[in-house]
Structure 1
C-alpha cells in the first residue's frame, strides 16, 4: 500500500477588502505576507491556485494586516505607488517565480507584451510559458499581471475578467 502524505495543510488567513471593482480576497500567512489576492466572484479559481501552489490549505477568516489593507485601499483611491509596499510571498516553480518577480518590475502606467517579458527574463522563445505562468499568478494587482498585453496592444486574458483589467489599466493612466 502506498504511503499517504501526512503533510500538515498550510494555514492562511482570509480577509475581504471592498474596492471600486469588487470585493478583493486577501490571503495572508502568519507573518502577514500576502499569499493571494483575487476577486470574490473568482474565489473557486483562487482556491485552485492555492491548492496547486501549496497543496492542502486551511483558510481561516481573519483580518489581514491593517497596514496592508490601508496600502491597498490607497492604491485603489489613486495613490498608485503603494503596491510596492505590500509584502508578498509565493510558492511556484523557479520559472514562475522569475516571471512573477519580473511582473513586479513593470512600472505603474506601463504595459508590456508577453514576448517582451519573455525576452526580459532571458527566454525570448518562452512566450507561451510566460503566459501560462502569468495565468497562475496568485497575487493579482500587486504582482501586476494586468499590465501584460498582446503584442498588438490588445487586452488579452485576465483572471479577474477583462473589465477589471481595463479598469486597472485606466486607473494607472494607460490609454486603451
Structure 2
C-alpha cells in the first residue's frame, strides 16, 4: 500500500505523514525532500536556477518513480503536485495507491501560514491581507485536483493525533 497525502501548504501533510508512517510501520517520504536529495539542490534553488517548468517535470518523474517502485510508504506531496503534469491521474490510476486530501479552510491555512511565513518563499513577502487573497485564489484553482483524492479528512482545529486516527480508520 502507498498512502499519498495531499493538500495545500500547512494542511499538515508532513506532520500527519510522519506520525501516520510510524503507526503503520511504513517509511515516510516527503516528495520535496526526495527531489532535493536526487537533484542535490533545495527546492528554492531549483526554482531559482532552473525554473518552475523544470521543477514540475522532475517532480512528475520522481513521483512516477516512487509510485512504480515496489516499496510501501506514506508519501507527502507538495501542495501543487496534484495540479501538474497529470500527476493526479497517475495517483488515482495506480492500483496500490490510496490518496487522502487533508482539507483545511482558508482561515485555518492563513493562520498557519502567518506563523511560518518566513520559511515559505511563495508567501514570505505578502501582507496579511494579500496572504488571504493568495490562499483563496490558489485553493480555488487547486480544489478540483484535491477533491479527486480517494478520501478527504478535515483538519481544522484538530490535533495531529486525531487526524492520524481518522486516516487510519479510512485505510481499514
Q: TM-score range by the shorter chain?
A: under 0.3
What TM-score do the two structures reach when normalised by structure 1? Answer: 0.26
Higher RCO (C-alpha 8 Å, min separation 6): 2
Hey, which of these two has a bigger chunk of strand by percent?
Answer: 1
What TM-score do the two structures reach when normalised by structure 2? Answer: 0.26
